[in-house]
Structure 1
């Protein structure tokens, strides 16, 4: 019995497959090639990264790179305007959760990645489906990382909420309107 002829024609991988491969292998050359092919369009690139998900895990390219400690990929992605820094996978983990788990085996490199993600706006207060925040996954002996995450949580808690900012803005507007109408009657 003869085998059917194999299809030797090569079809190119989709951008989604390429971006996942780039994240897994820390292949910044491929990432920059995709960026170039999309004419450095930040919106298209952000959509590609945000909308690309693994089927079973629902991991984004950022999750994949954080899981492997692929800093060069992460660094480029964090600079792309519009990329979601806190997408959640099937376990409701953010890339920050995944990076903290990576830090268990690679504490120094993991700390570096986590510090940069926090600087880029990652929210350490988000809980996964087990009700755990990233700091709940910190290795027992890693006080430095625990302090970093706790101080980031504290800093966020000290920021005024959007509701408070809106209220302050409205009060300022009303005060300006009141002083403007008061000066008109003079």
Structure 2
């Protein structure tokens, strides 16, 4: 069935990369599973190098949109980078998750915790020199504590904060395991 629906998508001109980004925007796990099966041979490369116009990866988009199911499936993929930087604001998916949490009553904390559990580094600063904890709503003490605890555990564990670069590369889930 995946081949049939994929064929219809190709007729409309949607590439595998476009389908990947769309799955993250819309929390569409069926579409993501199709992309994963069709892109299996170079999946890590596809996931890490597919970006939208401002440099967001599928992980950025899933975090930004609170797409929990898609994010969970993405984070299970071997070789996935969990700390890539977007081109515009030099933000990681964790920054996007905190911004999502600020705008929503529910689900934001789950997105943040999911990224931290996958090895996202809460110490990385964006273009404005802000860490994710710096952009938390001051009233959201629970989210602030989660990020502070993650920062402390990474620092106490001797992890080094990766330097920002122009390529937007960050750590990968496999680096933190």
Bin for the TM-score computed over the shorter chain: 0.7 to 0.9
SS in 1 for 2:33: helix
The TM-score with structure 1 as length reference comes to: 0.76
Task: Find the counterpart in structure 2 of residue 79 from structure 1.
Answer: 76
Deviations 1:94-144 (A, max 9, x none): 000000000012244110111111011000000000000000110111001
Task: Find the counterpart in structure 1 of residue 166 from structure 2.
Answer: none
Task: Find the counterpart in structure 2 of residue 47 from structure 1.
Answer: 45
Does the aligned pair in 2 maintain the 1:107–1:142 contact within 8 Å? no
Deviation at 1:35? 1.6
Task: Find the counterpart in structure 2 of residue 18 from structure 1.
Answer: 19
Matched residues, number: 150
Write the distance in 2 (CA, Å) between the matches of 1:161 and 1:136.
20
Task: Find the counterpart in structure 2 of residue 121 from structure 1.
Answer: 119
Does the aligned pair in 2 maintain the 1:66–1:99 contact within 8 Å? yes
Task: Find the counterpart in structure 2 of residue 98 from structure 1.
Answer: 96
Please provide the CA RMSD for this pair. 1.6
Does the aligned pair in 2 maintain the 1:115–1:148 contact within 8 Å? yes
Deviation at 1:65? 1.1
When residues 80 and 148 of structure 1 are mapped into structure 2, their CA distance, relative to the original with a 3 A threshold, is same
Q: Which runs of 5+ in 1 are unaligned?
A: 1-8, 163-186
Larger Rg: 1
